[in-house]
Amino acid sequence: MLMFCPICANVLVIEEGPKCYRFACNTCPYVHNVTRKITDRKYPKLKEVDDVLGGAAAWENVDSTSETCPKCSHNRAFFMQIQTRSADEPMTTFYKCCNMQCSHQWRD
20 marked ligand binding residue:
no
Is 25 in contact with 12 (CB distance < 8 Å)?
Answer: yes
Is 98 in contact with 105 (CB distance < 8 Å)?
Answer: no
Phi, psi of 22 (to 5 degrees): -150, 155
98 marked ligand binding residue:
no
Which stretch of DSSP H or E encloses residue 93?
strand 92-97
12 to 31, 39, 59, 73, 107: CA distances (angstroms):
9, 16, 47, 57, 44
69 marked ligand binding residue:
yes
Binding site per annotation, positions: 5, 8, 25, 28, 69, 72, 97, 102
Binding site per annotation, positions for Zn(2+): 5, 8, 25, 28, 69, 72, 97, 102
